[in-house]
Structure 1
Amino acid sequence: MKKSLSILLIVVLALALVFTGCSQPAQQETKEEAKQEGGEQSQKSGDTLELAFATGGTSGTYYPLGGSIANVWNNNIEGVNVTIQPAGASVENINRVSSGEVDIVLAMNNIADDAFNGTGKSFSKPLKNFKAVGVVYPEVMHVITTQASGVQSIADLKGKAINPGPPGSGTYVTAMKILEAYGIGPKDYTAKPGSFSDAVAGLKDGNIDAAFAVLSFPASAVQEIATTNPVKILEMDGADFDKVKELVPFASKFNITGGEYKGQDNDATTVTLQAVMYVKEDLSDDLVYQLTKVMYENTVEIAQGHARGKQIKLENAINGVTTPIHPGAQKYYDEKGIK
């Protein structure tokens, strides 16, 4: 009996060894296949170049327009995936692209010039690690109040509650210079800085008397305010414009057409700057060439995603750009005869 049991145990052990020996190659093969598949997936992921595009607040123009431009790039440039990010706009964006934190940004041309030269209160030293691609659209300074406020001019803002824009934005920096041009200092008003959404809410509920907003024209944010609170756009014209021009050299006159905003029946003169696209200086020439070409040659498609796409004009691509242009973009402009 014991002998039979011993024989049975030997047979079981032998069979176990056989099956273990057979299973090891299969398991090893499975691991090798998984390793190879994982390697192939990594390689495929590596074939797509991921680019980060910093824009602005979700209630402004930069964010939705940037999203439309990114979609057009992704649909027309093989091997590229551009992802947009909401951001604090011009000052923050120039700092981030210069440090290499993001690849592409939108910013006002006057802010980029300040950064490159290390001038103004926003930049303690020159930033050189970024290059211009080109002008995207004109940015219009809206100094907005309501008809009910009784404010008739920028000079009347002394003693008032003002939203000068999001801190770190081109709107905020430019607003400070405009107020300075009118002799209005930080102690002469109550500052309530915030986003464009904050400005809309503040003007609608009466928590602020006026707001500064650099937006495309016509601006949906201003139209939203005007639906319940007829607005007034405060003008900068004549000698007042000359004073602003001294502090904001890139400013040019812009006519806000009467009737576009409820309450603003007459034309109003304000100032405009340029929204420009900038990139990290070490992006390849071929990549930036493609980004430039696709943006300026697919404006109809961009406009389907955001109306400001209609204002992207190749003939205006380098107007107001004073910082160095990326060689990839310059190659495209040379081909098209843009000077």
Structure 2
Amino acid sequence: MIRRRHLGLIGVAALARPAAAADPRWPNAIVIATASPGGTYHAYGVGLARILTRELAIAVSIRETSGPGENLRLVEEGQAQIGFVTTGAVMEARAERGAARALFAMYDTPFHFVVRRDSPIRSVVDLAGKTVAVGPAGGTGADYVPRMLSALGAEIRPANGSWADLAARFRVGEIDAIAVAAGVPFPAIADLEARRAIRYIPITRDQVARIRLVAPELSASSIPAGTYPSLMTSYETVGLFNIAIARQDMVPSLAFEIVRDVFEFHAEMMEAHPAAAATVPGNFVRNTVLPWHPGAMRYYGSRAVTGVLTGD
């Protein structure tokens, strides 16, 4: 079932840039493919939709999906104009040969593993045979976590579903652990922190190295201490970078304005989700998997002379 949430055009005629809607080739509406409620993609998408609705004078809605794999397909098929994907999803689909093009780099997706504080589980190896929430089928966690843990000798029983439902099942003991791959702080985990005592299972350097043997697209990542109330020290792990994409045939002037608005209203994006702190022009180097959209390249080219590409 298609699920969209529309953000109303509130005063856009007065608030949008005078030239924003000057190109008659722009669409009347934009759909952003995100993920399920309770996750970072969803919150980030709501914030982006609000900004673009106001600044572009176009009705922008979000579409709830299973995550990067579906988002890539929706953009390539023209059912969504913007989609959020991971570098891993692009590599797995060999999408560099398709119609998708990069708009801007979003943020890192660190993997983190959570259990109830009174759980006997002390390491990721102890997850063998346990029921582990990995998120919606087709999402990053569902695609990677079973493979990562299998490389460590831990075969799990993955539980799929929306993060809101999985967190509720975790709270009552139906699920042994949660394995999250998302920008931090992850809303469902932050909510759990407020409701139940939890603990973060560490991943050793040796385990990181073994995981990267089966998924070399993963890179070193960490979650800073204090990101969650009970995370007292930094959490070393692996992660994937996220990229916002569009079809190659998006009007270049529209792509340019989208990229400009994301960076110009950076503080507002951070209010939507703190992970947007990493949505800065300098992180364009984190896209190593997709060609850039010409409109995005025009933005980065116009900013290069100011030093932003290396300074932000």
Shorter chain as denominator, the TM-score bin is: 0.7 to 0.9
Match of residue 15 from structure 2: none
Measure how far apart 1:141 and its partner are. 1.4
Shift of 1:155: 0.7
Q: Deviations over 1:63-84 (max 9, x none)?
A: 1211111211122224x33211
Residues 103-125 of structure 1, C-alpha deviation per residue, up to 9 Å, x if partnerless? 110111111122125xxxxxxxx
The correspondence for 1:54, drawn from 33, 36, 41, is 33
Check the 8 A contact 1:52/1:85 in 2, yes or no.
yes
Q: Which amino acid counterpart does residue 303 of structure 2 have in structure 1?
A: K
Q: Percent identity?
A: 22
Aligned to 1:114: 92
Query: Where does 1:199-238 land on structure 2 (aligned, <5 Å)?
Result: 199-238=166-205
Give the Cα separation in 1 of the matches to 2:172 and 2:280. 38
Give how far 1:265 is off.
3.5
Q: 1:303: Cα distance to partner?
A: 2.6
SS of equivalent residue, structure 1 residue 152:
coil
Q: Which runs of 5+ in 1 are unaligned?
A: 1-44, 118-125
Does the CA contact (< 8 Å) of 2:83 and 2:244 recur in 1?
yes
Moved more, 311-320 or 274-283: 311-320
Matched residue, 2:128: 158
Whether contact under 8 Å (1:116, 1:323) holds in the other structure is: no
1:180 matched to 2:117: no
Deviations 1:264-321 (A, max 9, x none): 4443212221121011121111111111111112112223343333331111133143
Gaps of 5+ in 2: 1-23
- Cα distance 1:201–1:51, how it changes in 2: closer, same or farther (>3 A)? same
Give the structure-1-normalised TM-score: 0.77
User: Does the aligned pair in 2 maintain the 1:153–1:235 contact within 8 Å?
Assistant: yes
For 1:99 and 1:46, how far apart are their aligned partners in 2? 19
Q: Which amino acid aligns with 1:170?
A: T
Contact in 1 for aligned 2:109/2:242 (Cα 8 Å): yes
Amino acid at match of 2:291: P
| Distance 1:113-1:158 versus aligned 2 partners, 3 A rule | same
Does residue 330 of structure 1 match 2:297? yes
- Does structure 1 conserve the Cα–Cα contact (< 8 Å) formed by 2:185 and 2:275? no
- Indicate the structure with greater helix content: 1
Q: Is the 8 Å Cα contact of residues 30 and 80 (structure 2) preserved in structure 1?
A: yes
Distance, in Å, in 2 between the alignment partners of 1:307 and 1:260 is 10
Where do 1:108-147 residues align within 5 Å?
A: 108-116=86-94, 128-147=98-117
Q: Does the C-alpha gap of structure 1 residues 275 and 231 become closer, same or farther in structure 2, counting only changes over 3 Å?
A: same
TM-score under structure 2 length normalisation: 0.83
Within-5 A mapping of 1:72-111: 72-78=51-57, 80-111=58-89
Quote the Cα distance in structure 2 between the aligned partners of 1:256 and 1:301.
22
CA displacement 1:224-272 (0-9 Å, x = unmatched): 2233432222222311111112222232223334454455444321222
For residues 336 and 260 of structure 1, do their structure 2 counterparts lie closer, same or farther at Cα, with a shift above 3 Å needed? closer
Aligned length: 283
Distance of aligned partners of 1:127 and 1:197 in 2 relative to their CA distance in 1, 3 Å threshold: farther
Aligned residue type for 2:35 = G
Q: CA RMSD in A?
A: 2.3
Q: Which moved more, 1:305-314 or 1:105-114?
A: 305-314
Structure 1 residues 227 and 318: CA distance shift in structure 2, 3 A: same
Q: 1:61 deviation in Å?
A: 1.1
Residues 143 and 234, structure 1, Cα contact 8 Å, conserved in 2:
yes
CA apart distance, 1:202: 2.2
The structure number with the bigger radius of gyration is 1
Q: Aligned AA for 1:198? A: D
Displacement of 1:47 in angstroms is 7.8
Within-5 A mapping of 1:278-317: 278-317=245-284
